[in-house]
Structure formats: C-alpha cells, structure tokens
Structure 1
C-alpha cells in the first residue's frame, strides 16, 4: 500500500494536491484488518475439529457473526473502487491491470498449495482434484467450489471490478451504485441461483453498494475524529439493532462503518500493517485450517489444547501472510507499478502509474 493518507478531501473535488490525497487511508486498513480477523475466527472451528469442544473458550459473538467480515470486505472494495477512480490519470485499463497483479498471483500460489494438500489427502480426498476446477480456480471464474474455498469471494470481486471499469467511465459512481442496488434486489428475488448468475446478481451486491454510497457520503469531507467516531457508533447501532427492522441491516452498518473508517485521521500502526497483509491472511488461513487437523491427528496432539492452537494458528497465519506480502505481493506490486509506468510513457496504458497498485 502507499503511504498514509494526508489531510484533505477524500475525493478529487479540489484537484489541488489531489495526487497526494490518494494515499493509504489508515482507517480503511484498520477495517481490512478487522474483517480478516473476524473471518479467521469464524472459521477456526474447522481447524479445531480434532480437539475437545468442551475445552474451547469460544467467543460466541465472533463465532456467530464473524462471516460478516466478508460483507465489510465487499463494502471496502466498493469504496476503494470509487476512491481510486478520482485519482489523476485514472483509466479503466490501468485500474484492471492493477487489480490483476494485486489479486491473481497470490491466489494462484494458494491454489497450488491446496492442490498439494488435496493430493496428499490432507485438505480432502484426492478425487477432489479436477483439471477444470483447477483452471477455474486459477482464473477466478464462477464455480461452486474453488480449490481454496474462500476463493468464492474473489469471484465476486473480479466481476465487480470488471463492471466498475465499464460503468464508472459511462456514468460515474452514481451509475455504479444504481447497478449494485439493482443487482442486489434482483439477486434476492431469484435465489437460489447458479454461481455464474450469482456473481452478477446477488444479495452481496448490497455490500458493494454500501461502499459506493459511503464514498458518496463523505467524498467532500476531510478526516476528523468527531465525524469518524460518530459514524462508527451509528454503524455499531445499526449492526446490533438493525436486523430487527430490515434484512439489509448488515449492508447499512457496513456503509456507516466504511464511511467512519475512511474519515479516521489515524489508526494504530500495528493494525494498519495487519491491514496491509489482510489479503494474505484471508487467503492463507483456509489451507492452514485444512492442515492443522491432519497434523494434530498425525502427531497425536492433546485434545484439551484446542484453545491454545486457535491462537497459535493466528500467529502462524499472520506470519505466513506477512512473508507472502514481503516476498511475493509487494515485489509484484512494485514491479507492476514500474511496468505500468513504462507502458503509460509509451502511450499504451494512459495514467497507469497515477495511483497505487494495491489500493
């Protein structure tokens, strides 16, 4: 990610100094960290199936609601797509190129790891390896069960990026918001549906719409503690009490949360760094959770130590995610930025180097 966000309007309403304003938003990185940790905790029951459940000290709220971290991820994506679209020199091609280098290499590596786990009957029976499934997983195209099970969310992300690259140049973020709202309503009306349809029209598009609307709410505002904390408090209230009133309570809460996070003037450095590696944490936790039960059975771990292993796994996955960020993701992002800059100078991809590859 680029350097911390500077003071000033979030969007390019005032073009003076606009290039400097399109840096990293510390609150958004904090949101990414929270979302990744929530999903991690929600899935820990899969890693702990070998251990005695009666010995676990489970945080019931996260065990029940941690999956909503995916909704927050989607809302952040909706916000970021709008945010980078106002950067100087933005073009759909440069945007899609950056998204490709940000998402595909790490997903490909995680997919290969899952193939190894399946082939050794660690992550599942060997017959689950099938060439079509592997190719669809590597290409991140809609399917029922990608090799790395959490990859289904990447399928939504890829489709959303493609749609955004088409609609924003045509009608701006307002047209994107209309499309997301329509996709959410249509998707809810025709559930259930096959993956190829769901990735274009599904209730999850309410989350993307939440992020787009959050951007529209605060695009002209400057980071401020009072505004940020007020919106975050409203988000908490909507999340806790909203489900009693509407099925759209979670997207509404995500909208308020993303708006509040984007206006946050600062965030703890450790959590911002965790936000940097949140994609790796999300992608790598599933293979790790498939591996632990096999290892525990092989090495005959004490079944009473499940809670200890929950937190050991958190440390291990953060370490793996940090390593993949340092050794793979960041070098690829930097290489891609240089490559896109050269292509931009040659007039091939206009504005390619205008904003961060990892935004």
Structure 2
C-alpha cells in the first residue's frame, strides 16, 4: 500500500479516537476550541476511511481474476477475526458493567446480528449501531465488498461502472423497505466510489507527483470540512475527503520509505476497533476515582497504541496468514478421483 495512504489511515483512526473521547467523557459538550473541533469534525475520519477503502480495494484487485467467493473469503478473513474478538469483549463489558456505562445495553439477538454485520436497532436506544458501536462502518464495508465481488464476472474496463450501478441500485431499493434497510440509503456509502475514481486516475497515470499544490488542496479541503456540517455527508465531507486522499497520493514521494508511518497505518484498523473499549475503561476509572479526564486520556492513548500493535501483529497479520494459508490449501486441493 502507498505510504501516504497508510499515514492518512492512521490520522483518520486517531481523529475518530479523539471524537469518541469527547463523546464518552464529555457527552460532546466541549469546553475549548480543540475539543469542539473533535466533537464536531472528528467523525470525518470515517469518510477518509471509506474513500481509502474504495481506492485500496480497486487497486489491489486490478489485473486479478478470481471467483467472487474467493474475494469475499479473503476479505472476511481479513476483517472478521479482530472484529469478532472485540465485539465479544465489548459484550462481556456490557454484561458485567453495563449498569455503569451510559446509553449501553445488550441482548442476544442484537449481539448475533452484530456479528453477522446486519444493521439492527441497538438495545440502548441510540440507533442502528452494533454491540461494538464503531462496527457500523464495517456493515457498510461488508456491503461494499459483497457488491464489489460482482466485478469479477465482467471485463476489467467495465468494473467501476458495474460497482457504481450496483451500489446505487441496491442501496436505493433497500432504502424503500424502511426499518434496518434504510441504513444503506445513507449517501456516505457512495464515498467508496470516490475512492474507486481516484484509483482509476492513479492507474491511468493522471495523478502527477507534486508537493505545494497538493498541500494547498489539503488546506482548502480541511477548511471546507471545518465550516460545512455533515448534513449532506457525501458532498460536504466525502468530496473534500476524496480530494485530501488524492492530494496525499500525489505527495507519495515525500512519504515513501517512512517505516513509522507504515507501522501507524498497519495498526489503524485495530486502533479503530480497540479504542472504544479502552476509553470506556478509562471513563469508568475516572468516575470511580474522580480523575482528570485529560490525564486519563493521556494514559489511554499509549495503551490503545500498544494493544493495537499487538492486535495487528498477532491477529491481523499472523492469524490472517495462517487462516489464509489453510483456506488456500483447501481450495487448491484437487478433488479426489473416484475409484473405478
């Protein structure tokens, strides 16, 4: 993966961490400009994630032909183990300490639906959020992967159009049924297509390397995001996020070779999954012993980083490699020839 994208993934993950710190510790009632920024705009990290995801999935599957089921299996092996682990841990936290956590509840049907990436109303009454509430974005991710698997049935030049048409058609059809289906009518889902568009430009060599103009683009887009509300998520935050991603790709030579940026990006998925658990633990400690929230956060940050790195190495990397090797061997095994 491009190091510029790794750096941006890390930034996006930690923006979401700060956003949820303001939510869990202050219920989004900020007392200063920095806190207000993360309260109001920290969630834009999700938009960056979606654009990057569309770009990465497009680039990583170019010039490759595989069965749709194989693509979905590879993505499931990559996404599911860590998500299931932290969903189970969150479920245990809710069972054991749910009476002390704000707006938190759990029941078995909702827990099972969470594991299956099926949107359903959270028992806490705050919307279509899974047990591990940050997992709502993974419901979109898995939906995108499911539709993206269609591209392996058509010639490569038609793939972006097929994905765009399928995403638009299915999300609109599902939205007509109401209930949990309306989840997929949110226009944030089209940010994956913005990433695919950047991938098309990159493959055709239309993104020229530069520094000052891309930096200017990043600055302008940051201002736009700061002043525009997320009422129209795709236009107000999605498009500027896509421009930031495109600008960072143009600045790749200035990121290339940075091992620490690569490492930060590598563990960004685990940062995203782990941080809510750590922040809830920190919040409980601050309530129990009347600790300063910012002092607790200063402890939570390195703890999140350490757990996330271990999670990346042991689950995302080693476990993934072992499970993928096992599934590859099983799929490559020739069918036994019946004895005449």
TM-score range relative to shorter protein: 0.7 to 0.9
Match of 2:321 among 310, 313, 334: 334
Given that residues 42 and 62 in structure 1 are in contact (C-alpha distance below 8 angstroms), is that contact kept between their aligned partners in structure 2? yes
Which structure 1 residue ranges, 4+ long, deviate > 6 Å from structure 2?
242-246
Match of 1:157 among 141, 146, 149: 141
The residue that corresponds to 1:141 in the other structure is 118
Find the aligned partners of 1:108 and 1:63 in 2 and give their Cα distance.
28
Q: Is the alpha carbon distance of 1:95 and 1:261 closer, same or farther for their aligned partners in structure 2, counting shifts above 3 Å?
A: farther
The residue that corresponds to 1:256 in the other structure is 243
The alpha carbon displacement at 1:175 in A equals 2.1
| 2:199 corresponds to 1:215 | yes
The residue that corresponds to 1:45 in the other structure is 22
Local SS of the residue matching 1:107: helix
Q: How does 1:69-88 map to 2 (within 5 A)?
A: 69-88=45-64
Local SS of the residue matching 1:48: helix
Q: Is the alpha carbon distance of 1:124 and 1:62 closer, same or farther for their aligned partners in structure 2, counting shifts above 3 Å?
A: closer
Given that residues 77 and 323 in structure 2 are in contact (C-alpha distance below 8 angstroms), is that contact kept between their aligned partners in structure 1? yes
Q: Is the alpha carbon distance of 1:241 and 1:53 closer, same or farther for their aligned partners in structure 2, counting shifts above 3 Å?
A: closer
The alpha carbon displacement at 1:180 in A equals 4.1
Match of 1:92 among 52, 64, 68: 68
Find the aligned partners of 2:8 and 2:138 in 1 and give their Cα distance.
18
Q: TM-score, normalised by structure 2?
A: 0.81
Question: What do residues 211-236 of structure 1 show as CA deviations (whole Å, max 9, x unaligned)?
Answer: 1111122212288641x663453244
The residue that corresponds to 2:306 in the other structure is 319
The alpha carbon displacement at 1:203 in A equals 0.8
Q: Is the alpha carbon distance of 1:46 and 1:125 closer, same or farther for their aligned partners in structure 2, counting shifts above 3 Å?
A: closer
Q: Is the alpha carbon distance of 1:323 and 1:278 closer, same or farther for their aligned partners in structure 2, counting shifts above 3 Å?
A: same
Match of 1:301 among 267, 290, 303: 290
Find the aligned partners of 1:176 and 1:254 in 2 and give their Cα distance.
20
Q: Is the alpha carbon distance of 1:261 and 1:174 closer, same or farther for their aligned partners in structure 2, counting shifts above 3 Å?
A: farther
The alpha carbon displacement at 1:112 in A equals 1.1
Find the aligned partners of 2:102 and 2:16 in 1 and give their Cα distance.
25
The residue that corresponds to 2:259 in the other structure is 269
Given that residues 57 and 307 in structure 1 are in contact (C-alpha distance below 8 angstroms), is that contact kept between their aligned partners in structure 2? no
Higher RCO (CA-CA < 8 Å; seq separation 6+): 1
Find the aligned partners of 1:119 and 1:244 in 2 and give their Cα distance.
39
Find the aligned partners of 1:220 and 1:53 in 2 and give their Cα distance.
45
**Which consecutive residues of structure 1, in runs of 5 or more, have no partner in the other structure?**
1-23, 349-359
The alpha carbon displacement at 1:135 in A equals 0.6
The alpha carbon displacement at 1:289 in A equals 1.8
Q: TM-score, normalised by structure 1?
A: 0.77
| 2:216 corresponds to 1:233 | yes
Given that residues 224 and 240 in structure 2 are in contact (C-alpha distance below 8 angstroms), is that contact kept between their aligned partners in structure 1? no
Q: Is the alpha carbon distance of 1:53 and 1:306 closer, same or farther for their aligned partners in structure 2, counting shifts above 3 Å?
A: farther
Q: Is the alpha carbon distance of 1:91 and 1:84 closer, same or farther for their aligned partners in structure 2, counting shifts above 3 Å?
A: farther
Local SS of the residue matching 1:147: coil
The alpha carbon displacement at 1:107 in A equals 1.0
Given that residues 22 and 38 in structure 2 are in contact (C-alpha distance below 8 angstroms), is that contact kept between their aligned partners in structure 1? no
The alpha carbon displacement at 1:104 in A equals 0.8
Between 1:239-248 and 1:322-331, the stretch displaced more is 239-248
